[in-house]
Structure formats: structure tokens, C-alpha cells
Amino acid sequence: MIRFRITRRALASAPARFAAAAPSRAAAIVPSGGAAVAPSTGCAIAPPGVAPLARSGIAALALCALFAAGAARAELSDVERRIVDAVRARTPHALELLERTVRINSGTLNVAGVREVGAVYRSELEALGFSVRWADMPPEMNRAGHLVATRAADPAYKGPRLLLLGHMDTVFEKASPVAAWERRGERVRGQGVSDMKGGNVILLEGLRALHAFGQLDGAAVTVLLTGDEERVGSPLERARAALVEAAKASDAALSFEGGGPRGEASITRRSSGSWTLTVKAKPGHSAGIFSPQSGYGAVFEAARILNAFREQLIEPNVTFNPGVVVGGTQVDYSDATAAGNAFGKTNVIAKDFVVRGDLRYLTPEQGERTKQKMRDIVAASLPGASATIAFRDGYPPMPPSDGGRKLIATLSQASQDAGFGPAEAMDPARRGAGDVQFAAPYIAGIDGLGARGSGSHTDDEDLEIASIERNAIRAAIFMQRLIHSPWP
């Protein structure tokens, strides 16, 4: 039978409020017959012969848990501890809010559904003292628009003007067969549950805890929830005008998309754009290919260019993927349907070739350098052929910055002080593109503050339920410290 004891040894590392309540001779919770100390909590196993704390092993373990909790929160201020408690007290209500919004289908093209979800968020933000408006899109764009909520700063405010980002739409359109909400033990499966309605709830619960203790008073905070993140409306400039306008009036952007499996966040993200390679060549009988009169044809010219890209352009943080190719005597390709047709014969030299691809890079300088190399390669045509390449910019890059490094350092310290361990910067090659990048040309940004889940964009998208509370606590402390610190 195991008997638990407590000695003087651990109280030195336990919080004072627990030490005062413990017997004066206490140190570490110990069962008889062994010795092993857990340095982070002060809980240890040691031989008998010390003053007993309790006859019940359960009671001893309970105090050990209190020691652990106190040690984990030892670096939190009094107001931060109250914020943590407020988030935890709200957890059942946070999950109810998540279920309520997930059960509303808000696929990007379901304009009414996106607006319905927006109405729920609007009510929540107005209750927190925000002024809320809806930024409409023109009807021909077939997009719901965006929710914009603001709190004006006090003239004496010295902290950063924060821009908090999320999105209301999901990849699951109205006809999706995926169950809206399906609880599976400690996880829940559903439409957009982690991407990113879980992140939106974390954003709201973090703000709610700050509001409860007056920590938003006088601070400059804007919340912008887009309605078309999963399928951005066209023209892009119009679709992201509200976000760019908000970024220009802010100092730091905090995005609540999901982060890494160990709590990593992103302070750098690569661009996402596209390119179109168009090749023309002299048609003719295949017997004459490679001759000065007939040349090499469109297919060999395209192959030369693509292989040269592979040989000459590869470097860290640059990718260029030829996603679709169409070649032959006659070709056509439609952006609207992402489909093409080709006609040709084996005894005819191909006249046309079209390649559509994407391009990603980390900094504007890297992007321009890569584009120029691609242009130079394209220009060195084989005999009897010519080619052109056109680029279309989409999401701008979020390059490394001093502001980004300050954000991840602040987040990491908040995460450690809350007992969740450090938050490391995620490799940009591990992430796709996101809305925070439209703020990147103007202000520092960080992404990955949202819920932890798996299977994003698939029928098996799910969420770890505990990540709602955990990341809401982390986000609340992070925002509280930013608000009360000078910027930059």
C-alpha cells in the first residue's frame, strides 16, 4: 500500500499562497519506499519518516496538482490570473457558441449563410463594446462581404493598434453531405469546425475575458472577419479593400487560423500567385522536326523551359508548380473551369502549348528575382519557336520582420507563463496562404492563434475541443500584454 507524505523540500518552489496553507514541515508529496523529484512542480517521491500531509493519497495528489497549477502560472500577474479563470469559466458557453455557428452552413457561395454567421458574431462583438458594420461586396461578385468591428483608442494609448483577423466562410457549400456537428469524445467533427469557426470563438473568448476586467478600455482594436477567404472574390483588389484599409490604420495583425501541432505560430508566410506560359511554334510535318526550316515545335520548347526552371530556380522558400499543361496543333484552356482541350496528330509538329502554374516566395525581392530568371529562360527560345510568360499576383508574402519577431517572442512568453510551453515560429514552407498576408505590406503580423484540428478542407475536418480553452487563454494573455506595452 502506498502512503503519501509531504516534507519541507518542495514548498520553496511552490507558490506562496499554497505554502501558507500547508503544514510547516511540508516539502514534497511522497509515497513510502522511494525518492524522485519533479522539479517543475516540487512533487516528489521519498521514504516515510516525514510529517504526514494527509492519510488519503487522493488528498496528497490533489495538493500536488495545486502545486503544478501554481508553478505553471507563477509568472502571471493578478489580472492575468483572473483572465485565465474567466476564460475557463466560460468554456461550456464557448463550446455552445462554436456548435451554434458550425451548424449554420456558411460555404463561401452560400451568401445568406455567411451573413447569418456574421449576425451571430456581430451580436457577440457589440456586447463587448465594439462598433460593428458590414462591408458589402457588389452583387456581381457573389460574395457576402465582411464584418468589421472597432474600438476607438484613448488619446493617451501607447500600445499597438491591433487588427484581429478571422473568416466566416468555409469550404463546405450548402449541398455538402458532411455532418454539421458530430461529437467524438474529446474531439468534434464538422463543417469548418477548425477552419476556422473554432479560431473565431477563440478570438471572441479572448476579447471577452479582457473586456470583463477593463483591459480593452482605451485600446485600439479592430476585428475583421472576411466572408470569402476560402474562395476570394474577383477582382481581388475589391475583395480585400476593407482588410487593406484596416491594416493601414493598425500596427500589428493577429490572425486566428490554426497553428502547428505543438502550438507553433507563423510570422512569415509565402506569397501565392500564378503564371501562364504560352508557347507558339511553326507547324509542319513531323519528318522535318529539328531542321532549320521546321524548328523544334511547341512541345520541345515548353519542355526546355520547364526543365530549365527546375535546374535554375530552386532555392529555399521558392516553389513553382506547373499544375496543368495543354499542347498540340490546337489548344484552349479556360480559367473559369480549370479545364483545357487539345487536338494534335503524331505526324504533325505541335503549334501551341499552354502551361498554368503557381509561384510562391517569401520576400518581394526574392519574388522579383525569380520572375526575372523565368523571363530570361523563356526568352532563350529554340529555333522555330517563341514563348511568353505572364504573372498574376495573388496573396503577397509576409516576410521576416522585427515586428513579427517581437510578436512571436511575446506570444511565446505568454504561452510559457500560462503553462503551455513556448510558441515557436513555424517554417513558412509548411503553410499555404492566408488573409493576414494582405496586411503584411503595411504592418507586422502573426498567424496560428486559432484552434488545433486536423483534416482541414476534407470530409474529416475535426477539432481538439480542449484547444478552445487553451488557446483562448494564450490569446487573451498575449493581447493583454501587447495592449499594455509600448509599440514598437
- Domain range for 277 is 273-395
- If asked whether residues 169 and 195 sit together in one domain, one would say yes
CATH number of the domain within which 284 lies: 3.30.70.360
SS3 483: helix
The total of other beta-carbon atoms located within 10 Å of residue 16's CB is 10
Give which of 24, 31, 21 is closest to 8, Cα–Cα: 24
Residues 302 and 356 sit within 8 Å (Cβ to Cβ): no
Q: What residues of the chain score a pLDDT lower than 50? A: 1-73
pLDDT for 336 equals 79
Q: How far is CA 84 from CA 67, 282, 374, in A?
A: 17, 71, 52
Same domain, 391 and 402: no
Q: Which of 364, 395, 426 is the last residue of a domain?
A: 395
Do residue 262 and residue 406 come from a single domain? yes
Say what the pLDDT of residue 75 is: 87
pLDDT of residue 210: 98
Q: What is the pTM of this model?
A: 0.82
CATH code at position 467: 3.40.630.10
Are 265 and 413 part of one and the same domain?
yes
Q: From CA 132, how far away is CA 371, in angstroms rounded?
A: 41
pLDDT of residue 488: 81
Instruction: For cell 488573409, name the residue.
Output: 435
pLDDT at residue 25 in the model? 30
Boundary-marking domain end, from 16, 45, 72: 72
Max Cα distance, the chain (Å): 101
User: Hey, CA dihedral for 281, 284, 286, 288, is it positive or negative?
Assistant: negative
Pair (277, 265) in one structural domain: no
Q: Which of 395, 416, 438 is the last residue of a domain?
A: 395
Q: Output b/e per residue, 391-410; b: 16+ Cβ within 10 A.
A: eeeebbbbbeeebbebbbeb
